[in-house]
Amino acid sequence: RKRCVRISTGSKHGFQSMSINEVYGEFRCGKTQLAHTMAVIAQLPKEMGGAEGKVAYIDTEGTFRPERIMEIAERFGVDPDQACENIAYARAQNSEMQMELLEGLASNFATNEYRLLVIDSIMSLYRTDFIGRGELSERQQVLGGFLRRATQMAEEFNLVVLMTNQVQSDPGASALFAGADGRKPVGGHILAHASTTRLLLRKGRGEERVAKIVDSPDCPEREASYIITNGGIND
Ligand code: ATP
Ligand code: MG
């Protein structure tokens, strides 16, 4: 049996392999920065919070920046070019392509060198490809297929899966799944059930930001503050 691995988020918290970890919050709260930070940390030795693994990065919004990877690599004392080479990067232009890219990564994962799969962000292409109430059930069905495959891969290949997610623009819309401050991730029940751990990010005072574990099988609900630096997410 495979041993579960853990990859640090850059602060005290970490995410487990063989399950889906969802990070959600409003724009500019640091979801993409967290994804970049973890893409470097995943490559580090265990003592440094890593898993000595390669990284697959599916970018649906075109916000991946190799320069940021290089800056974060410097913080951890690893070779910036090597850090970039260890990331298999792909840009998805639509939801169909998002699924094809995931499937295509199976051959990468079969090498057993990969420990982190990033999807930044999970819902954006489904939200643009399926519009309005009339297409909602079809959207959720297709999304369900993607999440099942991602879950299966997480288990088969011992991967930490990190999905970023957006919040509904109307925080008062429903109390269901809402954090204490009413922010609710998009994606409905299907995504809520697929995610083993949900982490809510929000802006705090000044530069400070706050992460809150909303839904975790092994952690109590608690908050931790962090900042975004040149070297990525930090306590
Ligand atoms: P969105 O929902 O729009 O995708 P996001 O949650 O992914 O937003 P990020 O792009 O991760 O947000 O974070 C953007 C924030 O990170 C900005 O406030 C920006 O100032 C900050 N940031 C980016 N690079 C650096 C850096 N090198 N040093 C400090 N802060 C940075
Ligand atoms: Mg982003």
**pLDDT 10s digits, 46-102:** 999 999 999 999 999 999 999 999 999 999 999 999 999 999 999 999 999 999 999
Span 125-139, average pLDDT: 95
What number does the ligand 1 atom closest to the CA of 61 have?
4
Asked if the model's pLDDT at residue 217 lies above 80, the reply is: no
Establish whether residue 206 lines the binding site of ligand 1, counting it when its CB lies within 6 angstroms of any ligand atom. Answer: no
DSSP H helices, 42-187, are 66-75, 80-85, 95-104, 106-109, 124-129, 136-156
In this structure, are residues 55 and 192 in contact, taking their beta carbons and an 8 Å threshold?
A: no
What number does the ligand 1 atom closest to the CA of 35 have?
11
In terms of phi and psi (left: phi > 0; alpha: psi -120 to 50; beta: otherwise), the region of 224 is beta
pLDDT of residue 12: 81
Asked if the model's pLDDT at residue 176 lies above 70, the reply is: no
Q: Kindly state the percentage of the chain with pLDDT values over 90.
A: 83
Establish whether residue 31 lines the binding site of ligand 1, counting it when its CB lies within 6 angstroms of any ligand atom. Answer: yes
Substitution candidate for ligand 1 out of 33, 64, 119, 121 with most atoms within 8 A of CB: 33
The string over 144-165, giving b where at least 16 C-beta atoms fall within 10 Å of a residue's C-beta and e elsewhere, is bebbeebbebbeebbbbbbbbb
User: For atom 19 of ligand 1, which residue has the closest CA?
Assistant: 28
Contacts of 181 (CB under 8 A, 6+ apart): 171, 202
Please report which confidence band the pLDDT of residue 214 belongs to, taking 50, 70 and 90 as the band edges. Answer: confident
Please report which confidence band the pLDDT of residue 182 belongs to, taking 50, 70 and 90 as the band edges. Answer: low
Establish whether residue 199 lines the binding site of ligand 1, counting it when its CB lies within 6 angstroms of any ligand atom. Answer: no
Q: How far is the CA of 209 from the centre of ligand 1 (A)?
A: 11
Which stretch of 4-18, 80-94, 162-176 has the lowest confidence by average pLDDT? 162-176
Q: How far is the CA of 69 from the centre of ligand 2 (A)?
A: 15
pLDDT of residue 87: 98
pLDDT of residue 180: 47
User: For atom 9 of ligand 1, which residue has the closest CA?
Assistant: 30
User: For atom 4 of ligand 1, which residue has the closest CA?
Assistant: 27
- 147 in helix, strand or coil? helix
Placement of tokens 């420990």 in the chain: 115
Extract the tokens encoding 110: 């079969």
Establish whether residue 56 lines the binding site of ligand 1, counting it when its CB lies within 6 angstroms of any ligand atom. Answer: no
> What is the C-alpha separation between 213 and 195, in angstroms, rounded?
12
> If you compute the radius of gyration of the chain from its CA atoms, what whole number of angstroms results?
17
User: Which tens digits make up the pLDDT trace of 24-42?
Assistant: 999 999 999 999 999 999 9
pLDDT of residue 173: 53
Please report which confidence band the pLDDT of residue 170 belongs to, taking 50, 70 and 90 as the band edges. Answer: low
Q: How far is the CA of 4 from the centre of ligand 1 (A)?
A: 30
Establish whether residue 33 lines the binding site of ligand 1, counting it when its CB lies within 6 angstroms of any ligand atom. Answer: yes
Establish whether residue 27 lines the binding site of ligand 1, counting it when its CB lies within 6 angstroms of any ligand atom. Answer: yes
What pTM, to 2 d.p., does this model score? 0.94
Asked if the model's pLDDT at residue 120 lies above 70, the reply is: yes
Q: Report in angstroms the alpha-carbon separations of 203 from 148, 181, 199, 212.
A: 32, 12, 13, 11
Q: Share the mean pLDDT of the chain.
A: 93
In this structure, are residues 119 and 150 in contact, taking their beta carbons and an 8 Å threshold?
A: yes
- 104 in helix, strand or coil? helix
Establish whether residue 228 lines the binding site of ligand 1, counting it when its CB lies within 6 angstroms of any ligand atom. Answer: yes
In terms of phi and psi (left: phi > 0; alpha: psi -120 to 50; beta: otherwise), the region of 48 is alpha
Asked if the model's pLDDT at residue 174 lies above 70, the reply is: no
